[in-house]
Chains A and B, each alone.
Chain A
């Protein structure tokens, strides 16, 4: 994986999020405050706009710059959470100019850990972590086993989808929806939905063969 792949992944995620605008917005209106989509869109547009700058750096530096840019662009709770995610991934990839699947999986796990500690949250709290934690764990395990890309991506998508849907039956204990108590039951968490959309976008891009 190189920085071009990262940029392609960011573009794929941005396109997928825009395509899911209606769905994400309606989830956020139900149990959030209606600005999740706008914030994520603003962030992904800012990253796509800095594409040429990113391409001049190895993945570690590119991830750190993406993190800092998101931190100063998104705001809300997503800014520090997603910003910390990319900054930690960058830190983890230092010394790997072309990380392989295993190194990338380890970096992703470190990024997810950063979200956990910044947000003081964990699985089962009806947040994006309900998708990100199991999916990144599965990636670490399968990358270690040397699975082929098609199988890996199919499994990752399945895991993300299943866990995103599972947030419907959770009572939120973190995030904006936690103010709602039982009233959030029956609604999928918007952050979990966005995360699932991102996992699908990256997996689809990977299996289309654009990445070495």
Chain B
């Protein structure tokens, strides 16, 4: 493992100190328990709190700020945060209008946020994000994972909360965005969790993991690497098969890099995906390309499609001022 590390055990804290210092105009770091909040707390609004294991930067801490999250609770790398962090964050940023937890559908995240919600002294609700179509719906599993589509939920609900939407309205919007969002990814290499010191999975030079998770969890299958257009065709077939959009629908297309894939390849993927969407009679009304929901240095990318309506378009366009997303 070759990584910039002083001490594996203090990596997260040192990284958070760097993040907070680099974006001191936006962010404030709190320790014991650990959470990051807006530098200037918004007045009287529903507080949006997300969180999850570290290693997916800029998710979630990079999306704290005006028009998006009020606080985020980072756990250890790929390990969900704990209820005391969430309670402290809610205590700090809550303004009496209720707290909305935005949670990716992983057993650990779900249970820790659930325990925090049970211990909370103020009204709260949870939006569970489960956009990963690589995990097929089944009564035998805890369901699909929450991956890059989480950003769409955080951005759109963040904008609504900033404009004064109530807790119920934020919750309903979050659920709606989630149900209109689907993602799937493919990886060429594994990531290495710093504390583990070696790759999470072994993969041959000419192989890829199709439907990979953002922690390097195996996906639908392992196969030989094929041309990008063929991969995109297959990813899009799964995504659109799930969303079943009517022809003419406007969509948001998000190409997300996992951390080890350069932008030139991500833009190529965008181009390929655009062909597929246009062929299906869908119109890309908004787009986002870059490393937003990463898996450390894993080479690979995911595609996310969100079906838009007028309200969602205007919420997407609403001003946002965070470390990693701003317009």
Contacts and interface: CB of A to CB of B under 8 A. Distances in A.
B128 to A, nearest CB: 14
A175 B108 CA distance: 9
A119 B112 CA distance: 11
A141 interface: no
Interface stretch (B60-68, B213-221, B229-237): B213-221
B145 A76 contact: no
Nearest to B77: A35
Most chain B CB within a 10 A radius of its CB, from A72, A118, A180: A72
B107 A77 contact: yes
Given A33-B200, A173-B140, A173-B141, A38 B111 contact: no
A172 to B, nearest CB: 9
Contact of A178 (B77, B81, B82, B142): B142
A180 B216 CA distance: 12
Interface string B190-223: 0001011000110000000000010111110000
Interface of A: 25, 29, 32-35, 38-39, 42, 71-81, 83, 118-120, 173-176, 178-180, 183
A80 B193 contact: no
Contact of A80 (B33, B78, B115, B195): B115
Given A35-B196, A179-B145, A79 B140 contact: no
Nearest to A176: B217
Contacts of A39: 76, 79
Contacts of A32: 217
B75 to A, nearest CB: 4
Nearest to A125: B140
Contacts of A78: 108
Interface string B258-297: 0000000000000000000000000000000000000000
Contacts of A72: 33, 82-84
A72 B33 CA distance: 9
Contacts of A38: 76, 79, 193, 195-196
Interface in B141-198: 141-142, 145, 193, 195-196
Most chain B CB within a 10 A radius of its CB, from A77, A118, A119, A183: A77
B306 interface: no
A84 B6 CA distance: 34
A35 B141 contact: no
A7 to B, nearest CB: 23
26 contacts: A29-B196, A32-B217, A33-B193, A33-B217, A35-B196, A38-B76, A71-B115, A72-B84, A75-B75, A75-B82, A75-B112, A76-B75, A76-B80, A77-B106, A77-B108, A77-B111, A80-B114, A80-B115, A119-B111, A174-B141, A174-B142, A178-B141, A178-B142, A179-B141, A179-B213, A179-B218
A25 B82 contact: no
Contacts of A79: 80, 82, 108, 111-112
A180 B222 CA distance: 11
Nearest to A30: B201
Nearest to B76: A75
Given A76-B75, A178-B142, A179-B218, A29 B213 contact: no
A75 to B, nearest CB: 4
Contacts of A179: 135, 141, 145, 213, 217-219
B236 to A, nearest CB: 21
Contacts of B218: 179-180, 183
B259 to A, nearest CB: 15
B92 to A, nearest CB: 17
Interface string B62-104: 0000000000000111111111100000000000000000000
Contact of A29 (B75, B81, B201, B219): B201
A175 B106 CA distance: 9
A83 B114 CA distance: 13
Most chain B CB within a 10 A radius of its CB, from A33, A35, A42, A175: A33
Given A75-B76, A75-B81, A174-B142, A80 B196 contact: no
Contacts of B77: 35
